[in-house]
Structure 1
Amino acid sequence: MPPEPLLPQTGRRVFVALGDSFTEGVGDRNEAMPNGVRGWADRVADKLARHQPGWKYANLAIRSKRLRHVIDEQLEPALRMRPSLVTLYAGGNDILDLKTDMAALMADYEQLVARLAETGAVLVLFTGFDVKVSALLEPLKKRNAFYNRRVRGIAEKYGAVLVDYWCLDAFQDRRMWDSDRLHMSKAGHKYLAGQVLDQLGVPHKIRPKDWEPPTRLGIREWERHQRRWVHDWVLPLFGRKLRGVTLGDDLTPRWPEPVKVPRKGGMKKVAREAGLAREAGR
């Protein structure tokens, strides 16, 4: 017998994405889209609409948000949308804060998942990837492993779909990552969209990049890359921490209300029409 469909075959089709930069789409640059990014969630929305016309989509994720922000700012708006599909990734920024109490963090995470599960929506959760950024961050590996163990257990407890990001070997290739080494590149976002669609049983034609093996960097080139990374990303990050600001402070959700996703053109068409409407209103 074929497996029971995960997604609604009739009735409401509302996809709501919650979280931080991972779900906002940081690293997948597109100036024509809200906040200048596209991301895997937009790509999933496109394929959902092509597979089953009538889907609406909202993306409340904003870069730099901690778990408490997702709970305080995104949960209630999401519940009001009466979603039939919810994706959630949150807590990654908390892991990077060494003062975070991981047990308390995951207790709050489970309460959030429980609230979302009560909606009856299909719920998709993600483990975190072990990003090889720098040896300086290796102490965070145990925290990430703890987070992943708890996410796996919570997903099983609440009947959520799990995208086990930790186990996706394709992300070992540095080309799947943006220049900051913390966010996925366009190729990474496209690949992850395919993984989410696979877990949901939605057909698609997203395929991994057929790359040649990555070239090994010589010591001088490696040092030059390191210096550029420290100058462009590490120092600004510490500067923001010292000032108590984040990259998401002045941003609003990319798609704050559910918008109908056209079967042809997808979210690019929605963004284009929204841009034309803004131009006409000036």
Structure 2
Amino acid sequence: MSENATDPIQPAHPWTRYVAVGDSFTEGIGDPEPSAQGGNRGWADRLAEELARTSSDFAYANLAIRGRLLDQIIAEQIDPALELKPDLVTISAGGNDIIRRADPDAVAARLDGAIGRLADSGATVLLFTGPDIRDTPVLGAIRGRVAIFNENLHTVAKRHDAVIADMWSLRELVQPQMWAPDRLHFSALGHHTIAMMALDALNVPHDLHPMQASPLPSRTWRQARSEDLVWAREYLAPWVLRRIRRVSSGDHISAKRPVPGPVFGPGMPPGSE
């Protein structure tokens, strides 16, 4: 090799086929984007976009469906994910079970088996803990259960050599602007922040930067009370009714990216790169 020759550019990561598994969090609810498949972008799309940026042969599938409980995710998504032969899998599951006050130890034990199957395939598995929901309306009441669940997940990850994406320690998520108007899902800013954390957990250099969201304007007590009443009517009441009727927001919804395909940013048509 001549002295003027340059070293070949090393890829920023080793993965070429990424499959995302989970519920509304992974589907991207709270981050609407009309040009994205399924109409929502979310952290998984943002993660895939960044991984694709430095890979000429990268494909991404997202099997997540809103409202799914852990047993549904295991029954409906694990086998299809393995059939796609991914070398990277992200999974966030069990949150809806914890919200319904399931035993966090039992939920983690069932998730353990699913993580084991994914890891045994040879794929890198990125496993998400739950966020610290201390100051979140409705969800704040189950903070202790989430903490117990998270401790179990660290054990599961260690057992199967999975990578942990630790949302509990991502303190930025306590900021109100990180949450969507329904206060149950993350906003575009929240999903962006989580995508950054996931890339850091995978040790992948990236071009994402913290978004400079303008601070929320100060509100009077009367304004805050009025907003709480609107939220209760438009989001909380329908959520409670679904629990009573035993229906899910994901009923009759299918995966937005059921097969691996190339990744393009929102509004960026294929071939524009």
Does the alignment reach a TM-score above 0.5? yes
Q: 1:236-257 deviations in whole A, cap 9, x for unaligned?
A: 0111122221111011001001
Q: In the TM superposition, what is the alpha-carbon distance from 1:201 to its structure 2 partner? A: 2.4
The 1:137–1:54 alpha-carbon spacing in structure 2 relative to 1, beyond 3 Å, is closer
The 1:6–1:30 alpha-carbon spacing in structure 2 relative to 1, beyond 3 Å, is closer
Larger proportion of helix: 1
Aligned counterparts, 1:151-170, within 5 A: 151-170=153-172
Residue 49 of structure 1: which of 48, 52, 74 is its match?
Answer: 52
The 1:139–1:43 alpha-carbon spacing in structure 2 relative to 1, beyond 3 Å, is closer
Aligned counterparts, 1:8-27, within 5 A: 8=14, 13-27=16-30
Q: 1:135-189 deviations in whole A, cap 9, x for unaligned?
A: x544411110111101111112211111110011111211111001111101111
Count the aligned residue pairs: 259
Look up the match of 1:147.
149
Q: In the TM superposition, what is the alpha-carbon distance from 1:211 to its structure 2 partner? A: 3.6
CA contact (8 A) 1:95 1:144 kept: yes
Q: Secondary structure at the match of 2:61?
A: strand
Q: In the TM superposition, what is the alpha-carbon distance from 1:214 to its structure 2 partner? A: 3.7
153-162 or 222-231, which deviates more: 153-162
Look up the match of 1:123.
125
Q: Secondary structure at the match of 1:167?
A: coil
1:230 aligns with 2:232: yes
Aligned counterparts, 1:70-89, within 5 A: 70-89=73-92
Q: Secondary structure at the match of 1:54?
A: coil
The 1:6–1:147 alpha-carbon spacing in structure 2 relative to 1, beyond 3 Å, is farther
Q: Percent identity at matched positions?
A: 39
> Could you list the runs of 5+ residues in structure 1 that have no partner in the other structure?
274-282
Root mean square deviation, CA, Å: 1.9
152-161 or 70-79, which deviates more: 152-161
Residue 220 of structure 1: which of 219, 222, 240 is its match?
Answer: 222
Distance in 1, Cα, partners of 2:265 & 2:34: 16
TM-score by length of 1: 0.86
Q: 1:74-132 deviations in whole A, cap 9, x for unaligned?
A: 0000011111000000000000112x232221110101111111011111011101222
> Could you list the runs of 5+ residues in structure 2 that have no partner in the other structure?
1-10
Look up the match of 1:179.
181
Question: Which letter does structure 1 place at the counterpart of 2:57?
Answer: G
